[in-house]
Amino acid sequence: MKAIIPVAGEGRRLRPHTHTTPKVLIEVAGKPILGYILDTLVPLDIEEAIFIVGHMGDKVRDFVLSHYSTIHASFVHQDVPRGLGHAIYLARERVADEPLLIVLGDTVFEADLAKVVGQRCAKIGVWEVEDPRRFGVVEMEDGRVTRLVEKPAEPPSNLIIVGPYYLPSGARLFQALEANIAAGRTTKGEIQLTDALQLMIEQGERMEVFEIDGWYDCGQLETVLTTNRYLLDKLGGNPEVEGSIIHPPVFIDPSAVVESSIVGPYVSIAEQVTIKESVIRDSIVNGGAYVENVLIHRSLVGDNAVVRGALKKLNVGDSSEIDFK
C-alpha cells in the first residue's frame, strides 16, 4: 500500500506565520500538525509515503526525514497550486494498481486506520456536524455513497467529507483524475479530488464511509488554538516551574525558561522560549520567542518573536478610572 500526503498548501489564512513556516509545521501542543498525522501512519504497513510539497517544501522534507526516518518517504513538488486533485495526480508515476491511502497533511484527526485499510471497497472518512452547508457532503443509499455534494443548500446528510480516503485500487483513481483533466472538468477553477471520486461512483465504484473519532481543523488562528486546547486536554501536562504558577493543561518544553509568570490553562511553550513576569492563557508561544511583562490571551507568537510590555507605576485617586486599551 502507498500513501499520499498533500502538504503543498500555502496557508494564507495563517499569515504572517506561514510566511516563514509551512502550514503543516505550525505547532500545536508541542508538536507540528504534520507530526500528529504521521504518528497515525507509522503503525500501518505502508510501502511508501509520497508527500506533495510546494511552499517551503524543503522544510517539510527536513522535518519528515529527521523525525520520521522509519517512514520510506518520497517528495513530489507541485509548482502551481491547481487543486487537491491535481496535487494527488502528480504522484501517478509512483503508484501502480495497488491500495492507496490519502491523508490530508493539515488537519488533525482521530481514527483507527488499521480497521480501514485492506477493505475490499473504497472508504471515505466523514465527520458529523450540525450545519454541513459549508462543506462537501456525502449522500448515502443502502450503506453506500451515491453522490458527493459540494456545499449544498439542502444537505442530504450531516456527514461532511474530511478524509482520510482509502482506495483498494489507486490506478482507478488516477484514471478518473486523468479523465477529468482531459475533459477540463474543474470546480471553482481547480481540479478536485471529490470530482474524481464522483466519477468513480458513476462508473460503478462502491464507496462507503467510516466516521472518524475526532476532526480538528488547523486552517486559521482560531481553529489552531482550538486544536491546541483539545490536544492539551487529551495529552495532559502539569509541569512544575519554580517561582511561577501553572494552571494545567500546559505544555512547556524542557529548554524553555519561565520566571515569575502565570501560565495556563491551554498554553504551549516551545523550545528555547523565555517568559518573564507575564500572564499567558490559551496561547501558543513558538521556538526562541521572548515574552516579558505582558498579558497574552488567545494568541500565537511566532518563532524568535519578541513581545515586551511595560509595568506601570500609578497614583490613582478616588473615583478615578484608568483604562489601558
Q: Decide: 174 and 193 in contact? Cβ < 8 Å.
A: no
Whether pLDDT at 100 is above 70? yes
In a domain, 230, yes or no: no
CA distances to 131, 192, 194, 215, 309 from 155, rounded to whole Å, are 9, 20, 16, 20, 49
258, part of any domain: yes
Eight-state DSSP code of residue 232: H
Same domain, yes or no, for 202 and 253? no
Q: Is residue 46 situated within a structural domain? A: yes
213 and 321 fall within a common domain: no
Element (H, E) at 96: none
* Length reported for the chain: 325
* 167 and 305 fall within a common domain: no
> Within this chain, do residues 123 and 201 fall inside the same structural domain, yes or no?
yes
Task: Quote the pLDDT of residue 309.
Answer: 85
Domain co-membership, 175 together with 211: yes
- The boundaries of the domain holding residue 83 are 2-217
pLDDT at residue 150 is higher than 80: no
| 222 found inside a domain | no
**Rg for the chain, CA atoms, rounded:** 23
Say yes or no: 194 and 303 in one domain.
no
Q: Report whether pLDDT(97) > 60.
A: yes
Q: Are 34 and 78 members of one domain? A: yes
Q: Is the pLDDT of residue 315 over 60?
A: no
Whether 206 and 242 map to the same domain: the answer is no
Residue 308 belongs to a domain with what CATH number?
Answer: 2.160.10.10
Last residue of a domain, one of 188, 217, 246: 217
Domain stop point among 155, 182, 217:
217
Count of domains for the chain: 2
Tell me whether residue 36 is in a domain.
Answer: yes
Q: Above 60 in pLDDT, residue 317?
A: no
The answer to whether 23 and 12 are in contact (CB under 8 A) is: no
Q: What does the pLDDT look like over 271-311, one tens digit per residue?
A: 999 999 999 999 999 999 999 999 999 999 988 999 988 76
Q: Which residue, of 163, 183, 217, is where some domain finishes?
A: 217
For 301, the grid coordinates are 507568537
Work out the pLDDT band at 87, boundaries 50, 70, 90.
Answer: very high
Q: Whose grid coordinates read 515574552?
A: 291
Residue 154, domain CATH:
3.90.550.10
The pLDDT of residue 311 = 66
* Average pLDDT along the chain: 89
In a domain, 228, yes or no: no
Q: pLDDT tens across 11-70, in order?
A: 788 888 888 888 999 999 999 999 999 999 999 989 999 999 998 999 999 999 999 999
Q: Do 98 and 194 fall into the same domain?
A: yes
N- to C-terminal Cα distance for the chain? Answer: 56
Q: Could you tell me if 181 and 248 lie in one domain?
A: no
Q: What is the pLDDT of residue 122?
A: 94
- Residue 279 maps to a domain: yes
How does residue 185 score in pLDDT terms, banded at 50, 70 and 90?
confident
For residues 53 and 98, state if they share a domain. Answer: yes
Q: Are residues 25 and 103 in the same domain?
A: yes
pTM (predicted TM-score): 0.88
